[in-house]
Structure formats: C-alpha cells, structure tokens
Chain A
C-alpha cells in the first residue's frame, strides 16, 4: 500500500474500493509505530483511530452519505483543541490539560469524516522555528535526522513528509507552517487572517496567527482549505468566503500574471547562495510559464522581524498570563501560598524560550519603553500594510525563498537568539499584513529541501493556489527515504 498518496488520490482509491479505510489506517499506524520513535513527529496517537475507520467503512458499505475526507488520516498540531483529549502545546504547564471543547477546524474535519490520527509536536506554545523548544524533545527532519525539521509546526511537517499521515493542520504566527513545510519538503499554506476560525486554537499572538493546511500537494491544500475555511460565530475575526471552491480551475496557470520579486528578501545578509539559486530558478520557471517577473521593493521588510517579535511577545505576555496554576496547570494546593509566589511556581514550569518572550512581552509595551518598542512596531506594521496594498495594485503575486537558509543542525543556532529570529525574515511580512502565503517544495540541494514562498493579496487564496500549482507541476522531487 502506498502511504505516500495525496489526499485526492486517497479519496479516489477508497471510492474505487482499492482498499478500506481500516486497512489504510492500520498501515499508517504500523508505519508510525515503525518510524516515529526516531522522528518524534507525534506527541500522542489517537487510540480510537481503528474504531473510527471501521465506522466510516460501515457507512461506505451501506451507501450512507460519507464526508469528503473518506477517513483519511490527518495529524493535528498539539495547540488545537479536541474535546476530551489532551492539548499540551508541547509544554509541561499543560501536561495534563484535557480540552473542554472542540475547535471549529476539528469539528469541520470530523463532519467530513477525517480521522485525526494523532497530535503533533511543536515548539512550546508555538514559539520557535525548530521544535528544539518542545518540552518533550525535538522532532527530526526525515531528510536527515541530524537536522531540524523547522517549526513551530515541525511535528506536522515531519508527519506529512514521512507519510505518517496524508495531511496535517498547523498554525502560523510568523512562519510556523511555511518554515517546516520548506524544511521538510511539503506544501504549507498560511491563509488570510480571518479565513480560518481560530476558535479552539491556543492563543499565542492572536492578532496575527492562523491555522492552515500542510499537505503533500498544492491540490491537497486547496482541498483542506475548502473544508476548514469560512465564517464562524465563535470567532468574530472570521470572514465569509461564500464557500469558495479553491480546487476549481487550480490548473489555470500564471500566463500574463505579474510577479514581484521582493528585493529585500532576495538580497538579505543571511541568505544562502543555494537558496538564492533555487529562488532564481523558480523565477525563470514562472517566466517560462508566461508570467512577468520584476523586482519590487518593500522598504519596511528589514524592520519586520523586530516589529514581529515586539508585537508577538506583547500578546504572548498577555495570553500566557492565564497559566497561573489555578485555571491551568494545577499541580498543588494553594493553601499556605502567597498569591505572587504561587503563580511564580506555576510559571517556573514554562520552558526557557517562553520565559524569555514573556519577559520581553512585559518590557516592550511598558510605560517608558512602549514608545521605543511597541508603538514603533505597530507603526512599522501600519506602513508595511500600506506598502503591500500599493504593491498589489501592480502585481498579482510576490515571490521569495520561504526561509533564507536550508535546515540547520540541532544545537547550531539555539544559543544565538538573533540568528534564530532572522530565520523568520521572509515569512513574517504575510502575518503582519494578514495576506495569504504558501511554501511550495522546489528543490533538494545537499540532500535537504528548499521551499519557495508565494504571497498574494488579501483573500487571494484562489489565484495563489493556482500559481503554487503551476510551479509545483514543473518540479519532480525525489522521495524521502525513511
């Protein structure tokens, strides 16, 4: 059985009775059993997966209505809630937290008969780009186990790349879907802010983060976006997309489209020559497909990483205040404790990166410092939004490498906070401006993947997926050997 098939091919195979849902889920679980000790993509496996598969097989057999997913195994980043099961955010603070309700994206997947195969690893509270900050140990890059898989949705990226599931949902605050997609050679889409409900996503920096699909193909991302997008009364920031079909005309091509090559993202200090070569290659490919590519400058880009970390730390400082040992993370009785020291005890269970971002988040918006940091960051964000609006009056898409470098070795960057931040250089613009962006696997160089990022205007997912599909169809990448 080919566990590496795409979501669309899986659905066809089930419809043609090539195998049963139970057979596929059983094989997937066996495979996970076999490889995940090494890869550590998963924090937990769904014990009811086989039972769920049998139920869907029974529906198929008796000709009942079956949801669009036909029992396909999907993994979920462990910061998205499913009622009655653990959501740890890869933190010791939430080690025993059981979600009291189900997130909207999971309800939608359940109603389409997807099987949630397990919850995947991440950097603690989604703060990081390598999974090295997971309290439960890092995930390994399936292309080379000595290298990081990217993050924070690293477990999701690995689970899809290593064929442990068909697709995954991650969350993207500053590149957390696109970065591991690029590092693991899978497709990762960060939708327009508001296109996908965040109800049931554990908040980190809620003014900019989004849930999105990580898949083997661009079509699969469109397929999943069809399911998870749309307005939700439980999330007031959601947008009514009128049930747009993102798969429709996905092969429309890019002929006549104008693509802006973001100058600041293609001449930055930390950009590797191999990555730049791949990006130049992709530009040539787009031109061959009939698009017009030209340089475009976004002058705020050099300041976006600082603005991003200032804004997200501030929101994190506020969002993580709830981990106080009373509402979450209860370990010991409060009697005999003084208020502050009790809460400090709870916070001492947070990992080092989360602690640092909370300290930052207390500092940058504080009286006396807000003018220098937080307010300036918001002004950079405003100016960047203006720049993006102008750019999309002229261009259909923007292109850049997803990440300025290829995957790096474990431990290589963990002690250098500034070089860790710079890895987000090309991805944070889409978050700060709310526009959609996708990472498309493009090349394998020195045995490690390189992804290309395409961005489109607000709610431009339909054409963005068409461009990504056009690029994807020009490449023939090797299979990862596990």
Chain B
C-alpha cells in the first residue's frame, strides 16, 4: 500500500510537537521520504505477532521512599522565584 501521508498532515503534527519553523518545506519532504521507506513494515507479515514489553518485578524496583537529591536543582534554572519555576502564560 502506497503511503498516503501528505504535507498538510505532517505540518499539523509538527505544530502539535511545538515545532514552528519559518520554512519547514525541506524538512517535510525528508520526513515524507523516511515515512515512505517505513512502508516496508507492511511487508513484514507481523500482524499476528504479540508485542512483548520489558517487565520489571515490583520487588526489584527501588523502595518507594523519598531520597533527598542533596542539591538545590532550582538554582540551575535561570528563571525562578522562591520555589517556583517561571514559565510562560497558558492562554
């Protein structure tokens, strides 16, 4: 099956990813080429395959206990007030 991905669709995703470039036509063409190549996945004949996920047993996880980091990470941010990070307004 030929890929039906069009420029508009990819532009929309770019916007959702908060990537807003002045001229993104060159990127879009390359992304399209990569997606066209990904069509090869259709030939892999894996529809019936189960997806395996990495599982870690609960007792192998570290204890659910607060460990102080020991460093004031806020001071690594250049824009903060007291214990709050300054971020742009949400409309």
A residues sitting closer than 8 Å to B (CB atoms) are 98, 100-101, 207, 233, 236-237, 300, 302-303, 305-307, 309-310, 317, 326-327, 330, 333-335, 337-344, 347-348, 350, 352, 355-356, 358-364, 366, 372-373, 375-380, 382-383, 385, 417-418, 421
Contacts and interface: CB of A to CB of B under 8 A. Distances in A.
Contact of B31 (A363, A372, A379): A363
A334 B18 contact: no
Interface in B17-53: 17-21, 24, 26-28, 30-31, 33-35, 37-38, 40-44, 46-47, 49-52
B78 interface: yes
Given A337-B88, A339-B90, 7 more contacts: A236-B61, A306-B40, A310-B38, A343-B18, A352-B26, A417-B33, A418-B34
Contacts of B50: 379, 382
Nearest to A422: B37
A29 to B, nearest CB: 30
Contact of A100 (B14, B73, B79): B73
Interface of B: 5, 9-10, 13-14, 16-21, 24, 26-28, 30-31, 33-35, 37-38, 40-44, 46-47, 49-52, 54, 56, 60-62, 69, 71, 73, 76-79, 85-91
Nearest to B73: A100
21 contacts: A306-B37, A310-B38, A317-B17, A327-B77, A330-B77, A333-B79, A335-B88, A339-B90, A347-B17, A348-B21, A355-B19, A355-B27, A356-B27, A356-B34, A362-B17, A363-B10, A375-B51, A377-B41, A380-B41, A382-B46, A417-B34
Contact of A356 (B31, B43, B91): B31
A342 B88 contact: yes
- For the residues of A in contact with B, the DSSP-based class is helix
A191 B83 CA distance: 41
Contacts of A383: 44, 46, 49
Given A98-B76, A326-B77, A382-B50, A359 B10 contact: yes
A133 B46 CA distance: 34
A382 B91 CA distance: 43
Contact of B52 (A326, A340, A360, A385): A385
A360 B78 contact: no
Contacts of B35: 360, 363-364, 373
Q: Which of B19, B78, B90 has the most CB of A within 10 A?
A: B19
Contacts of A372: 41-42
Nearest to B67: A233
Contact of A330 (B19, B54, B78, B90): B78
Nearest to B90: A339
Contacts of A417: 30, 33-34
Contact of B46 (A337, A339, A350, A380): A380
Nearest to B41: A376
Given A233-B62, A355-B27, A382-B51, A330 B34 contact: no
Contacts of A302: 40
A306 B41 contact: yes
B16 to A, nearest CB: 6
B20 A341 contact: yes
Q: Which 6 pairs from chain A and chain B are nearest by CB?
A: A344-B20, A379-B46, A334-B88, A342-B88, A379-B49, A362-B17
Given A326-B77, A359-B19, A380-B41, A339 B30 contact: no
Contact of A366 (B13, B56, B86): B13
Contacts of A350: 19
Contacts of A333: 79, 86
A326 B38 contact: no
